[in-house]
Amino acid sequence: MMLKIQVKMYVILTLVYLIAGVGSMLLFRAFSEDFELRFFLWIDLFFWVCGMTLNYMLDYQRRHKPARMLNTYMFFRFGQFMLMVAFLAVVAYALEKVQRAPFAISLLGNYLVYSGLEIYMFYRYNKRAFHTK
C-alpha cells in the first residue's frame, strides 16, 4: 500500500513530462527554423529528475517524519528554483541569441506544469500522512 502512491506518482510524472516535452518540441519546431533540440530535451529531463527526487523525499518523510514534510517540501522548492536559475544561466550562455527566448519560454512553461504537479504530490502525500493514522 505504501508503494502504491509512489508508483502512481512516478507514472504520472513520466507521462506528463513526456507529453509536455513532445508538445513543446513540436510547438517550437513549427514556429522556429533555428530550433536546436539538444538544449530543449534537458529541460524535461531536469524537471523529471527533480520530480522523482521530490517523490522519493516526500514518501520517506510521510513514513518516518510526517511532521517535517512541509519543511522538506519548502527546502526542496527553494533548492530546485536555484538550480533552475543556474541551469538557465549556463544554457543561455551556450545558446545563440536567437534561441534564448524560446528556451526561456519553454523553461517557464515546464516550470508552471511542474509546480502544479508538485502541489498535487504534496497534497497526496500530506493527505496520506495525517489521515491514515
Q: Domain map of the chain by residue range?
A: 2-131
- CA dihedral (40, 109, 10, 91) positive or negative: positive
Cβ atoms of residues 40 and 70 within 8 Å: no
For the segment 59-77, the average pLDDT, to the nearest whole number, is 85
- Higher local confidence (pLDDT), 32 or 132: 32
Whether the pLDDT of residue 132 is over 60: the answer is: no
pLDDT tens, residue by residue, 84-116: 889 888 887 877 776 777 778 878 888 888 888
Among 42, 41, 21, CA closest to 87 = 42
Q: What is the pTM of this model?
A: 0.75
The reported pLDDT for the residue numbered 82 is 93
Mean pLDDT of the 23-46 span: 72
